[in-house]
């Protein structure tokens, strides 16, 4: 699984940084940034963020398969 941070939703609370053990970090804008997708997945994926700012990204293979 791959994830992205919706910067319009992220409030910079740091919960994801604490929970994912290095899976995210706070950037210069004080919003979360992805560091390690596997650590985010292990910590709970999208459910890690109490505000819903972590979003799962479908990979190209899955997208191709879903269009067939």
CATH of domain 2-67: 3.30.70.20
Q: Which helix (H) or strand (E) holds 5?
A: strand 2-5
pLDDT value of position 60: 60
**How many residues comprise the chain?**
68
| 3-class secondary structure, 42 | helix
Q: How far apart are CA 32 and CA 25, in angstroms?
A: 5
Cα 4 to Cα 40: distance, rounded to the nearest angstrom: 10
pLDDT (tens digit, 9 = 90+) per residue, 56-65?
A: 998 664 444 4
**pLDDT of res. 68:** 42
Q: Where are the domains of the chain?
A: 2-67
Region 26-52: what's the mean pLDDT?
97
Lowest mean pLDDT among 12-16, 28-32, 35-39, 58-62: 58-62
């Amino acid at each position: 699984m791959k994830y992205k941070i919706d910067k319009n939703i992220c409030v910079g609370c740091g919960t994801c940084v604490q929970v994912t053990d290095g899976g995210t970090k706070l950037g210069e804008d004080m919003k979360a940034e992805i560091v390690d997708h596997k650590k985010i997945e292990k910590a709970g994926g999208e459910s890690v963020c109490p505000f819903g700012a972590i979003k799962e990204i479908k990979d190209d293979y899955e997208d191709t398969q879903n269009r067939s």
